[in-house]
Amino acid sequence: MDKKKLIEELNKEIFNCNRCPLYLSKTNYVPGDGNPESNILFIGEAPGREEDIKGKPFVGKAGKILEENINKILNLDREKVFITNVIKCRPPNNRDPKEEEIKSCSIWLIKQLEIIKPSLIITLGNHSTKFIFEYFGLKFESIMKHRGKVYEVKKWDKIVKIIPTIHPASTLYHKDWRDLFDKDFYEIKKNIENENESSGILKYIK
Ligand code: URA
C-alpha cells in the first residue's frame, strides 16, 4: 500500500481514538496533513482553537507564521511537506498537554513516523523536540539549547536529520524571537539544499 493510503487508514483509527479524555472535549481530531510521500516532517505540539474547528494543523495565527516561513524561506508550499502534532486533540483552553496525554497519544505520531519515514524532522517547540529526542535516543535539555542545530540519527537504513526550532506561537509573545525562528529556517533551507545537491535528485521534495 502506498503511504497516502496507509495514512488514510491510520486516520480512520485516529478518528475513533478514546485513549485519553481529550477526545471528549475536542470538536475535531487533528491527525495532520500534507504529503506523506514527502521526506520533510514538521511536528508541533497540539491543535489550538482554529485547528480544533477545522480539523487541520497550524491554520491559526501560529500556522500563518509557520506557513510564511515554509513559503518564503524554504520556497515550498505546505502541501509539499507533512505537518502534524504530538497531540491529536485540542487540550482545553490551549493548556500544555499532560505527560499522560502525550504518552497515550504518541502511538499515533509513532505510526505516522513509521509510515512516512522522513529524512528531515523539524520539531516546533519544547514538547515535540523532547518527544522526538527521547524517541530517537538523544538527550533532551531545552529547546533553546537545541534550536537551530542539526542532529543526525540512523533510522530506516538512512541518516535522519532532526532540526529543532522554537514554536511559531512563541514569536507572537516574544517579538525578538521571530529572528531566531527565521534563522533556524535558513539552517533548515541549507540542509535541504545540501542534500538535494549531494544526491543529485530532489530527495526531499517530491
Ligand atoms: N500549535 C501547534 O502546536 N499545533 C497546531 O496545530 C497549532 C498550533
We report the CATH number of the domain holding residue 181 as: 3.40.470.10
Note whether 51 and 30 are within 8 A (CB): yes
State how far the Cα of 151 lies from the Cα of 156, in Å rounded to an integer. Answer: 16
Residue 99 is assigned to a structural domain of this protein: yes
Q: Give pTM, 2 decimals.
A: 0.95
How many folded domains does the chain comprise? Answer: 1
Strands 82-85 and 151-155: unpaired
- Give per-residue pLDDT as tens, 57-113: 999 999 999 999 999 999 999 999 999 999 999 999 999 999 999 999 999 999 999
Q: What is the CA(201)–ligand 1 centre distance, in A?
A: 31
For a pocket test of ligand 1, which of 43, 50, 52, 58 has the largest count of ligand atoms closer than 8 A to its C-beta?
A: 58
Q: What is the CA(204)–ligand 1 centre distance, in A?
A: 23
Ligand 1 nearest-atom number relative to CA 50? 7
Please list the alpha-helical segments (H only) found in 76-120: 99-116
Grid coordinates given for 206: 517530491
Residue 204 is assigned to a structural domain of this protein: no
Q: In the prediction, which pLDDT does 200 show?
A: 42
Residue 205 is assigned to a structural domain of this protein: no
Ligand 1 nearest-atom number relative to CA 125? 3
Residue 92 is assigned to a structural domain of this protein: yes
Residue 12 is assigned to a structural domain of this protein: yes
Q: What percent of the chain has pLDDT over 90?
A: 93
Residue 155 is assigned to a structural domain of this protein: yes
pLDDT at 201 > cutoff 60? no
Q: What is the CA(46)–ligand 1 centre distance, in A?
A: 5
Q: What is the CA(135)–ligand 1 centre distance, in A?
A: 20
For a pocket test of ligand 1, which of 65, 85, 90 has the largest count of ligand atoms closer than 8 A to its C-beta?
A: 85
156-167 mean pLDDT: 97
Q: In the prediction, which pLDDT does 199 show?
A: 54
Residue 140 is assigned to a structural domain of this protein: yes
Ligand 1 nearest-atom number relative to CA 56? 6
State how far the Cα of 24 lies from the Cα of 205, in Å rounded to an integer. Answer: 37
Q: What is the CA(58)–ligand 1 centre distance, in A?
A: 5
The residue nearest atom 7 of ligand 1, judged by CA position, is 58
Domain that holds residue 87: 3-199
Burial class from Cβ neighbours inside 10 Å (0-12, 13-18, 19+) for residue 98 reads middle
Q: What is the CA(5)–ligand 1 centre distance, in A?
A: 24
Q: Which residues, listed in sequence order, are joined to residue 85 by a DSSP beta bridge?
A: 44
Closest CA to 204 of 85, 127, 122: 122
